Structure 1
Amino acid sequence: MAEKTPSRAVTIKDVAAAANVSRATAARALNSYGYVGEAAALRVAEAAARLGYRGNRVAQALRQGQMPIVGFVPGDIQNPFFAHIAHDIDFELRRSRHSLLIASSEEDLKQEQELLDSLCALNVRGLIVAPASAVGNDHLIRIAEEGMPLVLIDRAVTGVPCDVISVDNDNGAYEAVSYLIGNGHQRIGVIHDDSRIVTAQERLTGYRRALTDSGLAVEPRLMAVSQSTVEHAIDATIRLFSQPNRPTALFTLDSLMTTGALLALRSMGLSVPQDISLVGFDDFDLATFTDPQITVVSQPVGQIGPLAVRMMLDRIAGDDSAPRHTRFPTRLIVRGSVSRLTERSKTHP
């Protein structure tokens, strides 16, 4: 006698075909999110009952808000800054019996909007977000006004009524560039991300302000645009230092750019700090493994994740007080990557 073949589990695709609707419509009807017309919803329910469809209980619990899950949308999870924060958020949430869903926006505003819509459809308990842009944040305003607990980290944006944790990027960059100026540097290059990201804008503002306050011109030829990746920073550094009368010092706006700059300078046969002085924004492991060690603007990264979770859990517990804004100061850590220029070296790079 032939062995009986086990019956295949009924899927949403099967239910959709039997009800003559799209899979998306069937999913909305079965999981109770989004709009579905009354007639279509009835056909889906009848088809599911007839076929013996058993839904994904975990997905249903998510959508009904029965599972303690918080969503985190960083700019780029490959950036050590966000990787550190993600680790801390996960650790703190698990202590309170919550779980974490992470989805990187890759610094793309449209992708951020789509990810947040998906997380809201899953009915997560709250959202922690590093906004990809200083503008176009209607989706964040809507999420906050609808009552979803929302904490913005790293980047404060105007008009979103929620808790915010940021860093004093402007003054951190100002202190770094002023330190270079104090060591005799006047041709100070910068590698920056010419984007809508708030942190990049604030750090570039600090760079410009330090030059202006010292009576130095802000020269476009000393400013190289790079995406926040090692590869792009390598290309930007080579462009910057291949020109005549090159900079004597370089300021980079994040750790990935600093890494790229170091690799590029080495490939060009330029030594730090003998040929080029270097200061980077954001401390990172490589900064202390190099010889010399790199002078950096340090952020209190270890405090951001735990504070974000505390704020989030307060809101989940029902705290409806006014939005809170915590802005951490930065700290310039002086190491060995900056040399003092003599009058001769100022004119003979």
Structure 2
Amino acid sequence: MVRKPATLKDVAALAEVSRATAARALNSYGYVGDETALKVQAAAKKLGYRGNRLAQALRSGQLPIVGCIVGDIQNPFFAHIAHDVEVLARECGYNLVIGSSEEEAEQEISLLASLRALSIRGFIVAPTSTGDSLHLKSLIAENIPLVMIDRVAEGIRCDSVVVDNEGGARKAVEYLLAMGHRRIGLLQDDTRIFTSRERMSGYLKALAGAGIAADERMISVSHSTVERAVDATIRLFNQKAPPTALFTVDSLMTQGALLAFRSMGLSIPHNVSLIGFDDFDLATFTDPQITVVSQPVSEIGRAAAGLLFDRLSNLDGPVRNIRFETKLTLRGSVRALAQR
């Protein structure tokens, strides 16, 4: 017959103390007399009591664990970042817990609350909203290290790693303009998201710089998923005077646009030109390959993790904000139109 593992109740009974006293003696918190502590420890040893050391360590904050909450783990950009953060965490002797907000503020708040209950040492977060940030401000108020990645939230002074979203988008649209395009479509995400708003700003500034008024018929808003981007692209190109070129604000939307063009029988770049923000594997496997605004993804995750571990070793150090430049990677998805 298999003997059941000893419980705290068993230890307390053998030592003739309460369970609360046994717990204090075994977990080294609160006051327990020396003689009582020795009795409890002897009883635990005799019974082979082990306890839940993992739970105890989590509650006391002794385990070296950090958290990372990204926008959507299915997005190749965030998947790459999470991987790089985990690699550096291991190098620094930490474990990483990863959560995905799926770009929902409520889910981000819930995830953060759950992870905080585990006494996690610090967080890397890609904020879903620039304004709804009380849950993040509470981290700062409690001196829990926070690094914002890819996006920043208003009114929070903490370490961050972002890229020049506006400048990258502006370069892409200016290139389309230089190639003779005037009806340039924009496929974007919800503007409550920092990156989407910044990239839209770059799009609008490029048009304004060329003396072209923004046309709401050229802008289609979609959730950042391949399926939603397909529908949004089809709506945009079913107009009487559709765009001659399309700029998409992330790689999932670029993939959705590619599928939509295929379903509509539109050939790239003969019928429509395309530039996407974010590089992705499929961009170099298509024919033609897709012109993109590249981010230094391999540097972003490691930079954020480096800031977090530096902060964990020096809570009072100066705030550091890193901003990487982007690069317009020219391939074959844009064709020149005759200037009029």
Tell me if both proteins adopt one fold, taking TM over 0.5 as the criterion: yes
Matches within 5 A, 1:80-229: 80-229=76-225
**Contact 1:187/1:247 (CA < 8 Å) preserved in 2?**
yes
Q: Distance in 2 between matches of 1:327 and 1:240?
A: 33
Using the aligned pairs only, state the percent identity. Answer: 57
Distance in 1 between residues matched to 2:128 and 2:171, nearest whole Å:
25
**Pairwise CA distance, 1:5:** 6.8
Residues 318-327 or 99-108, more deviating: 318-327
Determine whether 1:316 maps to 2:318: no
Q: Distance between the aligned counterparts of 1:56 and 1:72, measured in 2? A: 25
Task: Note the alpha carbon deviations across 1:171-224, whole angstroms, 9 max, x for none.
Answer: 110110010011100000111112411001100111111111111121111111
Is the CA contact (8 Å cut-off) linking 1:73 and 1:129 kept in structure 2?
A: yes
Shift of 1:87: 0.6
CA deviations over 1:286-336 (Å, ceiling 9, x no partner):
111111111100011111111111111111112412211111111101111
Q: Pairwise mapping of residues 261-300 of structure 1 onto structure 2 (< 5 A)?
A: 261-300=257-296
SS of alignment partner, residue 103 of structure 1: strand
The Cα shift of 1:59 comes to: 2.1
String of CA shifts for 1:44-76, please: whole Å, max 9, x gaps.
xxxxxxxxx985321221121111111000010
**Unaligned residue ranges in structure 2 (runs of 5+):** 9-26, 28-48
Task: Give the superposition deviation at 1:6.
Answer: 5.0
* Runs of at least 5 residues in structure 1 that lack an aligned partner in the other structure: 12-31, 33-52
In 1, Cα distance between equivalents of 2:262 and 2:293: 22
CA contact (8 A) 2:160 2:321 kept: yes
**Aligned position for 1:49:** none
Greater Cα shift, 78-87 or 155-164 = 155-164
Which structure 2 residues correspond to residues 248-259 of structure 1 after superposition, within 5 A? Answer: 248-259=244-255
Structure 2 CA distance for partners of 1:55 and 1:117, relative to 1, 3 Å: farther
Q: Deviations over 1:226-250 (max 9, x none)?
A: 1100000110111111110111000
Distance in 1, Cα, partners of 2:105 & 2:217: 29
Q: Deviations over 1:250-283 (max 9, x none)?
A: 0000000000101110111100000000000001
8 Å CA contact 1:174–1:210 kept in 2: the answer is yes
Tell me if structure 2 keeps the 8 A contact 1:63–1:124.
Answer: no
Match of 2:22 in 1: none
Structure 1 letter corresponding to 2:152: A
Alignment partners' CA distance in 1, 2:202 and 2:133: 24
Alpha-carbon distance change, 136 to 55 in structure 1, aligned in 2, over 3 angstroms: farther
What is residue 74 of structure 2 aligned with on the other side? 78
Equivalent-residue separation in structure 1 for 2:134 and 2:332 (angstroms)? 45
Whole-angstrom CA distance in 2 between matches of 1:234 and 1:110: 26
Task: Normalising by structure 1, report the TM-score.
Answer: 0.83
* Mapped contact 2:187–2:232 kept (Cα < 8 A): yes
Cα distance in 2 for partners of 1:59, 1:236 equals 47
Supply the AA of the counterpart residue of 2:256. G
Question: In 2, are the aligned partners of 1:145 and 1:161 still within 8 Å (CA)?
Answer: no
Could you tell which deviates more after superposition, 293-302 or 152-161? 152-161
Q: What is the aligned counterpart of 1:61 among 49, 52, 57?
A: 57
Match for residue 300 of structure 2 among 301, 304, 309: 304
Amino acid at match of 1:307: A
